Homo-oligomer: A and B are copies of this chain.
C-alpha cells in the first residue's frame, strides 16, 4: 500500500516521448538538451583529496561566493550565505514543494508553464491557479485578480525566455509583478535556467531584485550553459527561507557532490568562461535563426509564433483548432519528435500548440524535421 501522493505521481507521456526521441534515427525537437558540441571540456586535474569526505549541506563556500558575485552583478544583492547549492535545479522544485505545498495549497503558475514544475508540485497536492501569458509577460490584470481572489501561497514564474513559450517579461511587467507580490505578500519563485542564452536585446533583470517585502527564491543552473551531467545548480533566497531550505536540503541528500562543485567552479572562474558563453550564444542564436527560417518557409500558413529572444524553444500555435497531441504519433512515424502543448498546462486542457527545441538537432536536421512536421500536420488537417 502506497502513500496518497502516489496517486498524483504523474504519467509517463513526457518520458515516453523523450525515450522515443532518443532513438538514433529520430530528429528530436522534443527535449531541452543542450548541444554536446557546445559544452565546455571538463577538467578534474588538481582535484583536492579533501573533497572526498562528506561536505557541507549548503554547498562549498567558494562556489557559493562565485554564485553570489554573479547574482549581485545581475542586480540581486546577495552574499554567499544566501546561496544554497542544489543537485540540479529539479531539486529546487522538490525542496520548494516541501517548504510550501500541502494538499490543496493554491500555487500560481503561468499558462503554459514548465511541465516538471507541474509534476513536482502536483505530487505534493498543489491546487494550481493559472495566469495566461501575453507577448510581454504574464497577463497583469488577470494576475492581480487571481492574487486577490485565490491568495496563492507562492507564484512560480519563469520571466526570462519562459519555458515553453519563449516570452521575456518586459520591464513594466517585472515591476508590476514585484509591486503586486509586495502588496499582497505572495512569495515569488523565479526560475531562470535560460537567462544566459540571450540572442536579442530584452530586459533580464530578475524580479526578485525589485521586491521590497515579499519572500522569494531564485533558481539558477549551469545545466544549460555548461555540464548538465554534473547535477550542480543553486538557489538564492530571502533570509527568512534559508534555515528551512537548508534543513530540507540536508534531509534530501545531505549535500551536492563536491567533485562536481569543484569542477563547475573551475569552469566558471576560468579565463575562457566569458568567451565560452559568448560562443554558446552565437551558436544557439544561429540555430534559432535556422529554425525561424524553416518555420517561415513551411509553417507560415498553418501556425503562429513569435521568434523567441532567448532560450531553447519555439512555441507554435496552430491556426486550426486541433489537439496537437494527435499529431505526435504520425510525426514519430515520420521520425520527428516534438512536445505537444498539453503537458505544459497545470490545469488539463486540449492544446493546439507545439514546443520545438532548436538546440539539439543539427542545422540540416532542423530544416528537414520542420519540413516533415509541416507535411504531417497538413496531412492531418
Judge whether B53 and A87 touch: CB under 8 Å.
no
Judge whether B253 and A99 touch: CB under 8 Å.
no
Near B by CB (< 8 A), chain A positions 310-356 give: none
Near B by CB (< 8 A), chain A positions 179-209 give: none
Judge whether B229 and A2 touch: CB under 8 Å.
no
Judge whether A230 and B252 touch: CB under 8 Å.
no
Which of A38-46, A363-371, A372-380 forms contacts with chain B? Answer: A38-46
Judge whether A94 and B251 touch: CB under 8 Å.
yes
Contact with B along A253-285 (1 / 0, CB 8 A): 111111110010000000000000000000000
Judge whether A6 and B99 touch: CB under 8 Å.
yes
Contact with B along A228-266 (1 / 0, CB 8 A): 111110000000000010011011111111111001000
Which of A75-83, A100-108, A129-137, A163-171 forms contacts with chain B? Answer: A100-108
In Å, the complex CA distance between A49 and B88 comes to 19
A-B contact pairs, 28 of them (CB 8 A): A2-B100, A3-B99, A3-B105, A5-B102, A10-B247, A15-B250, A33-B54, A34-B53, A39-B49, A39-B52, A44-B47, A51-B229, A52-B228, A53-B228, A53-B229, A87-B257, A90-B254, A91-B253, A93-B251, A98-B123, A116-B251, A119-B251, A123-B251, A231-B255, A253-B253, A259-B259, A259-B263, A260-B260
In the complex, given contacts A55-B229, A87-B253, what are 7 additional A-B residue pairs having Cβ atoms less than 8 angstroms apart? A6-B244, A52-B227, A53-B229, A87-B231, A91-B253, A230-B259, A253-B253
Interface residues of A (CB under 8 A from B): 1-6, 9-10, 12, 15, 31, 33-34, 36, 39, 41-42, 44, 47, 49-55, 87-88, 90-91, 93-94, 98-102, 105, 116, 119-120, 123-124, 153, 223, 227-232, 244, 247-248, 250-260, 263
